[in-house]
A and B are shown apart, each in its own frame.
Chain A
Amino acid sequence: MMNLSHRATADRAYQFLPFRFMRLFGRTLLVNQGGQFLMLDNGDFARFAEGTLKANEEIFLDLKAKHFLTDGIMELPVEMLATKYRTKKAFLRSFTSLHMLVLTVRCNQRCKYCQVACERADTRRFDMQADTARKSVDLILQSPSPYIKIEFQGGEPFLNFDVLRLAVEYAKELNADIKKHLEFVVCTNLSDVNKDQLGYCKEHGINISTSLDGPQALHDLCRPMENGEGSYARLMAGLELAREIVGPDRISALMTATRASLGQFPRIVDEYVANGFTSIFFRSLNPYGRAISGRAELGYPVEEFVRSYQEGLDYIVELNLRGIWFVEDYAALLLTRILTPFGTGFVDLQSPSGAGIACAIYDYDGNVYVSDEGRMLARNGDKKFLMGNVNQHNYRSLFTGDVIRRTVESSCVECLPRCSDCAFNIWCGADPVRNYATRGDLVVHKPSDDFCHRNMAIIRHLLEKVVHGNDDTQDVLWSWITRRPRAKALSCESEGNLCDA
């Protein structure tokens, strides 16, 4: 049990509680162990650090209320901070909940940034076999997590529809006794989907995640069909059918930003709004598969992505202020971390990384990797993140092996160079798979790391809105966190016209 007393020193009448700080917007940002933050003028921060604040000052009371200092009993703030820290790290409690099944690496499209290097649609030897699917499901349902999401991936997973059905029905059958909260998602390009497949999704509550890069010209530029034709028209037909059969609430879309997308984010948002989506995830190009070989055509400096992201985000805020409720998902995720006591699991940005402990991927041949990106590296011959194979290993050996341990150990921002002192670290995370793919090491040189630059810039941009945004902007940001349209926006919509900002 704790044995702490208030440790006022000869120099000051209060004790610091653990916090990190950073100079920001000409002031000083302080973030404590529980993720709460405070902005102080630099002079006030200097007085706080020197220990010369007086107990009757407003700043002193703010710092005390938010647990940056204590001048009394130590136990209470320490317990509060421990509870908040535990809440922030709650994503660790459940262990692996997202399990991705690669039903096939065959695909009917030839996306220029394909991370997997898909095979021809008629080469069936790249399909997951029924026995491998059953063994994968057996392992998945051994996860201690009470929440299990099975995500069907490819290639184009509908090309192996029989095994998709088998996996769904077998998982439901096993779960009848286990009684976990079980969800299914199929990641499909929707370009060749039929009524039977969508009817099955409807019947079994399978959500649909598709890809939409933007307006037709932009989408077709990087997502051609196998025969070279654009896929936009097929996607639109598939979307319409899916909305009609599965229902619009069960369909979401992802975009991938290539060089051609930069400067186009507002138009991409318009395309999403026109297609009935209420959110978007501005996703930068990932350094895997064809995105690497096509870097000269597709790639861009991180600063250019950040500029486009900021432009897109500002546009979305404006849309919301005009009464169109629309969310940028990455911002919503970060804002939840910044403005609420809660942490949010997100494989690519948590500490330790979610690779293996929050998600795992089961390839068509039964190989299990810590993440989709680990599988992508393996497609190019590097099996660094291979945990084992469903046909040879049991749950314990897969999920407690060296690969997962090494991945976790190298992704705690609390002890990584630069990250350990960064004021953003409780909101941020590490991606050791990406580090390895880009630099050949699980831990990278942070001052030249694009991942770090991107996240720092995006968090700064969000904080700028949080700290300096007016009440309406704050309302918009909170509506993203709560996932509920602003009351003002609702009233505007019900009147059938848009509000002025």
Chain B
Amino acid sequence: MIYNKPVIKEDGSTEVVVDPTFFGPEAVLNTAYLFTGECYIRLIATSEQGIVIAFTPKRPDVTIEVLVQQFLNELIDQQLRIQIRHDTAEIQRIIVSEAFAPLGTEG
């Protein structure tokens, strides 16, 4: 079963599982990267559960419960960013190409 409530493991890490129906690996990876300043993060892809994310705080002052909540919110934003980027990729390519087109005509 997919669960997204944090689960504290025996090794002291905290795990959360995200549903691959909503979140792709790129969004998970991007989000995980943002949190690597405060945590050691392991990503485990499982066919049954989804993507397991294991957090181990780097410092004792990191409140893991808050951090996981922030992670899950940020994950939504990251997924949205990917969708917007995907949706606007061709337009962006044309904008950049048009922007620098005059340079190609200069000596």
Contact = CB atoms under 8 A, between A and B. Distances in A.
Interface core residue of A4, A18, A79 (most chain B CB under 10 Å): A18
Interface in A286-320: none
Given A16-B84, A82-B98, A447-B36, A74 B91 contact: yes
A421 B30 contact: yes
Given A19-B84, A447-B33, A4 B102 contact: no
A78 B78 contact: no
Contacts of A33: 92, 95
A418 B90 contact: no
B78 to A, nearest CB: 7
A250 B21 CA distance: 63
Contacts of A23: 77
A17 B88 contact: yes
Interface in A406-457: 417-418, 421, 445-448
B95 A18 contact: yes
Contacts of B81: 20-21, 421
B1 interface: no
B95 A82 contact: yes
Interface string B63-107: 000000000000001101100110110111011101110110000
B45 interface: no
A448 B96 CA distance: 30
Interface residues of A, number: 29
Given A23-B77, A447-B33, A448-B37, A18 B92 contact: yes
Contacts of B34: 418, 447
Contact of B94 (A4, A20, A21, A446): A4
Contacts of B90: 4
A497 interface: no
A75 to B, nearest CB: 10
B36 A83 contact: no
A1 to B, nearest CB: 9
Contact of B99 (A2, A16, A17, A85): A85
A49 interface: yes
A200 B85 CA distance: 56
A344 B77 CA distance: 30
Interface string A70-110: 00001000110111011001000100000000000000000
Given A33-B92, A418-B33, 11 more contacts: A2-B98, A16-B84, A18-B85, A18-B92, A18-B95, A21-B77, A82-B99, A86-B102, A89-B100, A445-B36, A448-B37
